[in-house]
Amino acid sequence: MKNMDWKTLKSERVLEDRWISVRSDVCQMPNGRLVEPYYVLDYPDWVAVVAITDEGEVIINRQYRHGAGRTILELPSGTVEPNEDPAETVARELLEETGYIFDKIIKTGETSANPSNHSNIAHCFLALGGRKIAEQNLDESEEIEVNLVSLDRFGEMLEGNELLQAMHVTSAFYALRKLDKMKGPDLG
């Protein structure tokens, strides 16, 4: 196979804070052509989870998202802390955002929001056997309304484009595929 990887000849941080780091790279393509500047957004990894309670209900969060300028429905999600396993992030975020703990957390896939200029990965999960044990413990910039919907209603929400966040939609499809596989072959 032909090598298509670029070489980074120079990299400079343009912006850096807790949530994002932007760098400007000088890149060389295998054919020798230079690409500059090439901006890369360095985010921490993210997680999104389809969380199903003991009663078979899916947790859907409703919250304001400033980038979109509106309140939207989405899955419980969050940012992976340095040296934190993404499955631990899921458990932590579920407890903080919803007050629920889960018996089983299953990784269902990985995706990238935009691999052309985002360096991070979004880890997708399915959580089963949820029980509410606490009240929410939100960051001061968070206001999250927790909603419980049936699995059938969750499917309708996906088909009706009621979830806007692309990585959450992807995570939902991965989780539904995993649930179908867990049921086994249809013998009917």
pLDDT tens readout for residues 37-62 = 999 999 999 999 999 999 999 999 99
Number of C-alpha atoms within 13 angstroms, CB side, residue 19? 1
Quick check: helix, strand or coil at residue 123?
Answer: strand
- The answer to whether 59 touches 130, Cβ cutoff 8 Å, is yes
In the prediction, which pLDDT does 41 show? Answer: 96
Q: Give the active site residue among 140, 143, 145, 159.
A: 140
74 is catalytic: no
Average pLDDT over residues 155-172: 95
In the prediction, which pLDDT does 162 show? Answer: 96
Q: Tell me what the pLDDT averaged over the chain comes to.
A: 94
In the prediction, which pLDDT does 185 show? Answer: 57
Average pLDDT over residues 171-186: 86
pLDDT-derived band at 188 (thresholds 50, 70, 90) equals very low
Going by their DSSP bridges, the two strands 46-53 and 122-132 should be labelled as parallel
- Which tokens hold the place of 18? 């807790």
In the prediction, which pLDDT does 186 show? Answer: 54
Name the H helices within 74-150: 86-98
- The answer to whether 52 touches 75, Cβ cutoff 8 Å, is no
- Which tokens hold the place of 100? 């629920």
- Which tokens hold the place of 36? 């500059």
Report the DSSP beta bridge partners of residue 27: 8, 35
pLDDT-derived band at 20 (thresholds 50, 70, 90) equals confident
pLDDT at 178 over 90: yes
Q: How many other β-carbons are positioned within 10 Å of the β-carbon of residue 21?
A: 16
In the prediction, which pLDDT does 182 show? Answer: 82
pLDDT at 183 over 90: no
Tell me the whole-structure pTM to 2 decimals.
0.90
Q: How is residue 81 annotated by DSSP?
A: P
What are the pLDDT digits (tens) for 68-112?
Answer: 999 999 999 999 999 999 999 999 999 999 999 999 999 999 999
In the prediction, which pLDDT does 187 show? Answer: 43
Number of C-alpha atoms within 13 angstroms, CB side, residue 59? 30
Identify residue 9 by its one-letter amino acid code: L
C-alpha angle 19-24-29 in degrees, rounded to nearest 5: 125
More confident residue, 25 or 188: 25
